[in-house]
Structure 1
Amino acid sequence: MQYSRDDENLSLTRFESMLKTNDILFFDSNEFENIIHYYLEHGKIALSKRAIKLGLEQHPSSINLRLFQVEILVIENKFTEADELLDQLHNLEPTNEEVFIQKANVLSKQDEHQKAIDTLLIAIEMSNTPEDDADLYALVGMEYLFIDKFDKALVFFKKCLESDTSDYSALHNIIYCYDFLNLNEEAIDYLNKFLDINPYSEVAWHQLGRQYFAINDLAKANAAFDFAIISDDTFVGAYIEKGKVLEKLKKYEEAIENYKITLVLDDPTSFALLRIGQCYSKLGQDDLAVQFFKKTIDEDVLLDKGWIAITKFYMKRLDYQSALDYIKRAVNIDSDNVIYWKLYATVNKRLNFLEEAEQGYKRTLELGNYELDTWLNRTDILVTLGEHQAAIFNLLQATEFYPENAEIEYRLAGLYFMVHQPEEGRFHLKNATRLNIDYSFIISELFPQLKDRPLVKAIISEGKKSSN
């Protein structure tokens, strides 16, 4: 028996009225099912349980109401009770496929995914309705995804889509599996065959465009996104992807047009605003570029790419004070963002704010950025600030990540000579010249007071002879 939306609303109104007045009203089992389904969909578990209880009082033999009871037990992680109830229902109706579906759900929640698959396959054998088969195939596909069997998941998502060609979630899952398996060409073949039968599927055209983009066939990607837009001229995702293709083709004005269409079709996204800003920057239209970068961070203050873009924009134009203003704001919003701190350090270094730059590099390292240039930049600033012991400690930490590195060894040599530990200085300088004599300029650049010392000159001279 089919119920319209009005029927459902009437049933809900009557049911909630009954709860308020404590009057006992009669509902048929289908009405109870619709009421329970509504409450479950809206996360109203207490009301679902109340409806199940009252429903079973009026319809004690209803299998479907008992199955809703199982759903509640699963939600509450009462798997043993759910299992016991399902066993009872199976004894009553051994060919009820819904019992097997719920049994599979219970198994899945307990990470028994292979058993869940086996149970769902029994439900598929029992099924008499092709439209239900599509849902069952999708459930099997999801279980295979849980255990990383993407090739098997692919088989069942394809069966799902064959049973219901409008199931775009199945199509997305098929492409997800192909992507994970790095099978772009196979994905392209599959999508082209699908489009032969469903030529106006905007989702399939969109996915095809993404596959061509992945293999850098930009002309075909562009054409696919055009067909997606022809199929649905309000498809925001297709305009975004087409914009990305046009950017790669260096057609920045056309890319901007496509991104701007998305701003009209839907609420502005920080991604589209950022891309427009980047395109204007490539075109040398700085005023418009910065305008859109500012709109990006206004739209989403947590989008790190927006803050990074506007900071780098000013850095490129040597406006380091403006760059510093923005990266300071970014650091205040997210003090654990390693890219922000590295930019903060770089900008302060350019402005010769050395103590702030050193703090930036230090925080970058604390957050786990162990790139060589981070260690070296911090060291060089500490040397300039006369913090020789701190610089040595910094480099000794760096050697754990970069053992036998000439740039580190020359700096350690110079620092040990500066703190009057000539034996350590000699050891590291000999090591440095052995590793790479070409970096010997580091001594005269960072430690000019050492370059004329006879011991230093002798070790470097010997290193040059050895390298010839």
Structure 2
Amino acid sequence: MEEEFEFGFTEDPKFSVERYEEMIRNHDQYFFDAQAFENIIDYYIEKNDPPKALQVAEYARNQHPFAAVFLIKQAQLLVITNKINDAFDALEKAAMLEASDPDIYLIRGNMYESMERYGEALENYEKALELAEETDEVLLHIAYVYQNMGDYETSITYLKLCLKQNMENQDALYELAFCYDVLDNQQESVTFYQQYIDNEPYSYAAWYNLGNAFTKLSLFEKAIDAYDYAILIKDSFASAYFNKGNALVNLEKYAEAIEVYRQTFEYEQPNADTYCAIGECYEKLEQMDDARAFYKKSVKMDPKLADAWFGIGVTLDFEERYFEALHFYKKALDLDIANADYWFAIADAEYKLGHMPEAEHAYEKVVELNPIDVDAWLDYSSILYEQHRLVDAIEVISQAIKNNPDAAELYYRMVAYLFAKGEYNEALSHLEMALSADPEKHYILFDYLPQLQENKVIVDIINRYTK
């Protein structure tokens, strides 16, 4: 006859685990109380060993057939091992034993949510909400469901309720920022976080999200102040240093930004994005060797980071090494084929190398991808004009005007081309349009065709608008 030993919850959890493993080894039958079994199951969950945890839950159910907790644990583990139908069955049995346990409805809600059956998910979460003592996690789950349904306004309502229950729920703070972001409602975001900080001045997450909201409103000085508070409260907060660096870049304080980016390395492993950001700051400071060194570190760490390959190209372009620059621009383009900036840089480098057909093709791509880039239209038409292809140049500028009807520069350029072609009446009518749009920019015309400064008709028209 097998001997039965009983182990109680007074035992150290580790001791319970050892006794349980001894029982399995010896093919024996020990009795554990419910708490001891819970400890053993949690131990295997922490060890990331769901099959073993499931085996313990089965033992526990045999010894404690009326304890719903083991059916609930079993359901959680069955979800992890992707046995969804079995998990539903386990929860059904648990509900028969103890219908008032909120975990039953929380887990069931989770399962429905992952199946995108949002109505049933909400029903279960609402039930959990009635039964749970601490409701912030349930409210957070409800907020997630509304996000998945695309109803960000309702999600915000539940996230605020969640934070009312638990001011320190970091996930709710970040999700709230996300919802405001999707709704493009940064002003309300700022107001919320400021009020939140009045109650909870030491919440680094709230200061950080306030900084992000200020950044999106282009209030970079205020953003930096907010990031500084976040860093003051949590000095190892690498993301706050990184975003502060970005804000400094927007204020063109590149040397300061480099220092702040470097501080992230004290708290997390250097990563490709930060190396790339530092490279860009050195590039702006025209310290091209340093810039190139950081861009190279960046691509070594992440060969798929297109911006870093592009950055290497920019540093070479600056040194008039156009052929080499082109190689790196093309590497960037391979990773991000629809990037208008990359095409623009390629067009410019091809032009400087005298490769006119390639430059023309690249400019065509730029204006196709970004038809509101006025500079690209001007440069594109310019290379056609240089090849004495006046009709083509005029056609490109007329396309440009269709896409950018308020850009005075385009009208002035059109005037120059029409004069060059001898279409004086048409040119004068465009000159009137250009002067109506922006009389101050009339110098563009003379930059392009200096001889027009001698033309009395043109000078008189310009004087009429500028005096």
Query: 1:94 maps to which residue?
Result: 99
2:32 to 17, 27, 33: 27
Matches of 1:55 and 1:142, distance apart in 2: 33
Query: 1:54 maps to which residue?
Result: 59
Matches of 1:465 and 1:228, distance apart in 2: 59
Instruction: Report the TM-score, using the length of structure 2 for normalisation.
Output: 0.71
User: Greater shift after overlay, 8-17 or 303-312?
Assistant: 8-17
Matches of 2:415 and 2:20, distance apart in 1: 83
C-alpha contact (below 8 Å) 1:406/1:439 kept by paired residues: no
Query: 2:167 maps to which residue?
Result: 165
Matches of 1:154 and 1:293, distance apart in 2: 40
The question of 1:278 aligning with 2:283 is answered no
Matches of 2:297 and 2:151, distance apart in 1: 43
Instruction: Report the TM-score, using the length of structure 1 for normalisation.
Output: 0.71
Query: 1:420 maps to which residue?
Result: none
Same amino acid, percent of matched pairs:
28
C-alpha contact (below 8 Å) 1:8/1:31 kept by paired residues: yes
Query: 2:119 maps to which residue?
Result: 114
Aligned pairs for 1:187-336 within 5 A = 187-327=189-329
Return the offset for 1:406: 3.6
In structure 2, relative to structure 1, the CA distance for the partners of 1:16 and 1:355 (3 Å cut) is farther
Aligned pairs for 1:332-371 within 5 A = 337-339=337-339, 342=343, 347=349, 350-351=352-353
Describe the SS at the equivalent of 2:218. Answer: coil
C-alpha contact (below 8 Å) 1:209/1:224 kept by paired residues: yes
Describe the SS at the equivalent of 2:162. Answer: helix
Q: Deviations over 1:260-289 (max 9, x none)?
A: 111233211222222222222222222222
Matches of 2:199 and 2:62, distance apart in 1: 50
2:72 to 54, 59, 67: 67
Matches of 1:466 and 1:220, distance apart in 2: 47
In structure 2, relative to structure 1, the CA distance for the partners of 1:41 and 1:178 (3 Å cut) is farther
Return the offset for 1:195: 0.9
In structure 2, relative to structure 1, the CA distance for the partners of 1:106 and 1:338 (3 Å cut) is closer
Return the offset for 1:138: 1.2
C-alpha contact (below 8 Å) 1:341/1:361 kept by paired residues: no
Given residue 60 of structure 2, which amino acid in structure 1 is its aligned partner? G
| Count of aligned pairs between the two proteins | 397
C-alpha contact (below 8 Å) 1:184/1:211 kept by paired residues: yes
Return the offset for 1:106: 3.2
Return the offset for 1:302: 1.6
In structure 2, relative to structure 1, the CA distance for the partners of 1:213 and 1:464 (3 Å cut) is closer
In structure 2, relative to structure 1, the CA distance for the partners of 1:56 and 1:360 (3 Å cut) is farther
Given residue 203 of structure 1, which amino acid in structure 2 is its aligned partner? A
Describe the SS at the equivalent of 1:94. Answer: coil
Matches of 1:147 and 1:118, distance apart in 2: 15
In structure 2, relative to structure 1, the CA distance for the partners of 1:289 and 1:48 (3 Å cut) is same
Unaligned runs of 5+ in 2: 1-7, 388-393, 400-412, 432-467
Unaligned runs of 5+ in 1: 385-404, 411-436, 445-450, 452-456
Query: 1:36 maps to which residue?
Result: 41
C-alpha contact (below 8 Å) 2:254/2:285 kept by paired residues: yes
RMSD: 4.1
In structure 2, relative to structure 1, the CA distance for the partners of 1:357 and 1:178 (3 Å cut) is closer
Q: Deviations over 1:387-422 (max 9, x none)?
A: xxxxxxxxxxxxxxxxxx944999xxxxxxxxxxxx
C-alpha contact (below 8 Å) 1:341/1:360 kept by paired residues: no
Matches of 1:123 and 1:40, distance apart in 2: 23
Aligned pairs for 1:409-448 within 5 A = none
Matches of 2:22 and 2:51, distance apart in 1: 16
Given residue 35 of structure 1, which amino acid in structure 2 is its aligned partner? I
Return the offset for 1:32: 2.7
Given residue 303 of structure 1, which amino acid in structure 2 is its aligned partner? L
